[in-house]
Structure 1
C-alpha cells in the first residue's frame, strides 16, 4: 500500500503549464508577423481594386485589345499575390519555438524570442540562477555560548517553515536539541520572525539590523569578503550571532556571462546579499555591474532604470522575489527549478537550470530574426520582379504561377532550417 498526497490541482501541473505556454505561443507573434498581418489585408484590397482598373484603362492608355488587357491583368494578379509574404514568418517562428522546446526552453510567444535577439542588457539574480542554489554553512558564531543550544533550536524551528535554499542549508548544518513549534512570519526581503517564550527572534540579512556588536560586524565583513552570504539572528532586536553560507557559481554561469558580453550586451548581477558578497561573486564571473543589498520591490525599479538606460532588457531569475522584475523586463526568463510564481510570470522558461540553454535560445532567436527578414525581402523582390515582367509582357500565367509558388516553397524551406541543430 502507499499514501498519496495531492499537492496541486490539474491546472497547476507542469504539463498544464506547458499546454498554456503552447496556446499563448500560438497567439503571440513577432513584430514582423504583426506588421505583415496588418499590412496584408490592405495590400490585398489594393491589388483587387487596382487590377480591374488596370484592365479597364489599359486598352485606352496603351492601345491594347481587351483580350490582351485582361490576360496581362490576370498575369499581374497572380504575380502580386502575397503567398510567400504570408508564409515569411510562420515557418521560421514555429521552427524556432519547436527546436527550443526540444532542448528544454519554452516560450510564451515568438515575440519574446524576437525581443531576446534584440536585447541590449541582461540582469541575473544570484542565488539559484548564477549559483547552484544549494549553499552550505561555512561559519557560525554566537555571542552567548551558554545560550547557543537554545538559539540553534530556535533557528531550526524557524527555518523549518521556509523553503529558501539558505534555510535548507541551515537545517542540514544544525541539529535541534529540543524540537520547538513556532509561528513564523516571513517578511519578504527582511527574513523570518517568530516568538518563543515571549521573546521575539528574527533571522535576516545584515543590512536590516541596526544595533550590531563590533565582533559581529567584523566577522560579517570578513566572511562576506570571502564570498559568503551572511545572515544575523537577533533576540528582542539584539543581534546574538551570525551564520555564513557559501553558494558556488553555476558551472555554466561564466560561459553565459562571457557569451552575452561578447555580443556587446550589458550584464548585471542583482542580489539581496551584501555588497561584499555580491562583488565577490560578480568579480568571479566577470559581470559588468553588481547591484547588492537589493530589496525585492527594488528589483523591478532597477530593471526599469536599465530599460531607460540601455533599451530592451532581459531578466533571469528563479524566486518569488524576482517575479516583479521578471514582469517588468522586456523578456522575463525563469529557471525551471525555480518557484511556480517565477515560471508563471516569465516569458521564457529554462526547464533545467542550464544557462547554456539560454545561450542557445539567444542564438536561435538571432537566426530566427535573420531568416524572417530574408524571407520578407525575398518574397517582396519576387512580387516586384513578376509584376514588372508581367507589365512588359515577358511572362505568362504558367511561368508566373511556377515562380510564385516556387518562391513560397523557398520561404517555407528557409524557415525550416531552424529545425536543424
Structure 2
C-alpha cells in the first residue's frame, strides 16, 4: 500500500506548490504508524504509571506521528520562508498539543491524539484517492502500441507516439484502438465507453471515425490516422481530468486561504487562555496548561479543512462516470448558482440535421409516382436537404434519370417528355393557392420548404426542419423548475428559432445572430440575470463559451469548443446537464452541512473545556470523530444523484 499525502487536514490538497514539494511518503509512514499503534497497545499490558509504559506511549507518539510532526514543522518553516510571513498549518497545532500533553504527564492522551489524528489523516488520503480513482476508472486505458502498415504492406508494431497523420494502421479483433482515425476498410463494433460512458458497442464501417483508447470488437479493419496522439479525444479527456484534480471549488479555496490566519489566531489565543485561566477561572497553573492543550486540540480546523475537497472530488468523479467532465471543482460548485442558461440551437437544442416534417401534393395523380421521381432526382444531389428527403421517402420504381442542378432553377430532369423541378419557392411563379397556403403555414412554423413542379407548374411541396433534441423539452422544464431563465441563441431566422422554442418551452429566443455577437448576448444576460452558463458545439460558439461564467460543450462538437469550455457533455445527452446541476446543488448542500457541523463542534468543545467538563481524551475523540464524519458525508457525492 503506497500512500501519497495530499494535505487534506492542512487544506493543501490540489494545491500545486511551485517548489514542487509533493510529499510522496511511500510506505514508510504507514509502517511507522502501525509500529506505533503496536507500542500503544503493548503499553496497556505494562504496569500503569511506570517509566516503561510512559516510554512506550512516547514511542507510539513519535512513530505514529512522525510524518505529522515533520510536516507540521517543515511545511510551516518552508511556507513561512517562501511567503516571508508566518504560515502555520494544522499539523503544527497537533504537534504542539501532543508535546504539551506529554509535558504535563498525559502520555497516554498525547499518544492517543497523534494516533487518531494520523489515522484520520490516512483516511482522508484514501477518500481523496477513492475520488480520483473513480474519475480515472473512466480513463483507465492508455494506448501505447499500434500496428503500422508500412509502404511494402508489411505490418510493424510501433509506439503510438511515433504515429503521424495519414499513417495506415491495422486493428485486429479485441485490439485497443491506438489513436483517432477513420476506417478505410472493414466493418466492426467498438466499445467506446472509455470516451463517452456508453456501454453499448457502436457499429462502425468504412468512413466512420474511431477514437483512441476504445476497444475493437470481433471485426478487423484498417484505419487512417487523422490526429496527432496529443490531440486525440482521449488526450483531451486526460487533460480535463488533470485539470479537475487541481482546480478546487471556490469554497475550498477560501477555506485554504483562511486556514493560516485561523491557526495563527489559535496559537495566539492558547497562551493567553493559559495565562488568564488561574485569574478568571481560579484554576491552578497545571490545570490551566492542561485546559490550554485541550483548547489547542478543540480549536483545530481539521474538520473545516476537509469540508469541501473530498465532497468536490466525489461530485466530479460521480459525473465523470456518467460522461460529464468538469475541468475543475470551481465550475461544478458554480453551476449550482447559475441564474440563466443560454443554448446554441443547431446541434445543441436540435439534432443538427433536417428531417421531413410535412409534405403535400395536388391530387391529380398517384402520389407514389411523384415520390418515385423525387427520390430519383434527389439521389443525384449531395446536400442535407436531399438526405432528409431520401430518409423520409421510399421509391417503388427505381428510375434512372439525368438530373441537372441549374442555378436559379434547382434540380431539373425530364421524364416521359415532361420537365420536373425541385427548388426554392421563390424561383417558381405558377403556384396554386393551396400550395401557397401550405407554404405560409409551414413558414410560420419555422420550416424550410421546397417546391416540386411539373412543366413549370408547382404540384407539391416538402417541408423540413431541424427538429428538437428528444431531451430538450425535459431539460428546459427542469431548469425552469429551478428558477433558471433559458435562452436560445441562433443564427437562423427569428421565425425558425421561435418555432423550435415553442416546441421545447424555452423562455427567450434570439435569432439572426452573427457568430461574433453571441458573446455580447452572454454579457447582456449576465447584466440581467447574474451568473450565466452557455451550451454550444461549434467554432462559432467558442467566444460565448469563454465569456459565460460556465461554458459547456457538447461532446460531439468541435475541438475548439471543447478546448475552451469548462465542462463537456460527452454523449451529447442534454439530460446530463440536469443531472450535473442537481449534483452541483447536492455538493453545495453537503459542503455547507460540513462547514456548519465542523464549526459547531469546535464551539461545543471549547465551551465544554472552559466549563471543565472535558478532558484531552474526549476532546481528541470528538474532534477527530467530527473530521471523519465530514469526510464520509463528502463521499456521499459518489452515490448517483436522484433525478427530480
2:249 maps to 30
From 331, 348, 367, give the equivalent of 2:586: 367
Query: Is 1:64 matched up with 2:287?
Result: no
1:273 maps to 492
Query: Is 1:306 matched up with 2:515?
Result: no
Deviations along 1:81-100, one digit per CA (max 9) or x if unpaired, are 11110110012101111111
Greater fraction helix: 1
2:503 maps to 284
Distance 1:168 1:86 in 2: 58
1:41 maps to 260
RMSD: 3.2
Deviations along 1:57-78, one digit per CA (max 9) or x if unpaired, are 4334444322111100000000
From 471, 476, 497, give the equivalent of 1:252: 471
Distance 1:277 1:393, change over 3 A: same
Q: Does the 8 Å contact 1:229/1:274 carry over to 2? A: no
2:558 maps to 339
Distance 1:178 1:50 in 2: 91
Query: Is 1:16 matched up with 2:239?
Result: no
Q: Does the 8 Å contact 2:273/2:292 carry over to 1? A: yes
Q: Any idea what SS the aligned residue of 1:56 has? A: helix
1:102 shift after superposition = 0.7
Distance 2:278 2:386 in 1: 85
Deviations along 1:2-28, one digit per CA (max 9) or x if unpaired, are 653221112211221111111211222
1:128 maps to 347
Deviations along 1:124-146, one digit per CA (max 9) or x if unpaired, are 11111111122246799xxxxxx
Matches within 5 A, 1:87-106: 87-106=306-325
Distance 2:609 2:573 in 1: 54
1:154 shift after superposition = 12
Q: Any idea what SS the aligned residue of 2:307 has? A: coil
Distance 1:221 1:245 in 2: 14
Deviations along 1:154-201, one digit per CA (max 9) or x if unpaired, are 985xx6xxxxx779769999x997999xxxxxxxxxxxxxxxxxxxxx
Higher RCO (CA-CA < 8 Å; seq separation 6+): 1
Q: Any idea what SS the aligned residue of 1:277 has? A: helix
Q: Any idea what SS the aligned residue of 2:353 has? A: coil
1:351 maps to 570
Q: Does the 8 Å contact 1:221/1:276 carry over to 2? A: no
1:54 maps to 273
Q: Does the 8 Å contact 1:153/1:179 carry over to 2? A: no
Query: Is 1:261 matched up with 2:467?
Result: no
Distance 1:243 1:57 in 2: 90
Q: Which has the larger radius of gyration?
A: 2
Query: Is 1:413 matched up with 2:632?
Result: yes
1:280 shift after superposition = 0.7
Query: Is 1:4 matched up with 2:223?
Result: yes
- The alignment's TM-score, normalised by the length of structure 2, stands at 0.52
1:144 maps to none
Structure 2 gap segments, 5+ residues each? 1-169, 171-220, 360-377, 393-399, 406-423, 451-460
Distance 1:176 1:293 in 2: 38
Q: Any idea what SS the aligned residue of 1:307 has? A: helix
Matches within 5 A, 1:135-150: 135-136=354-355
1:230 shift after superposition = 7.4
2:539 maps to 320
Structure 1 gap segments, 5+ residues each? 141-151, 160-164, 181-205, 207-211, 232-241
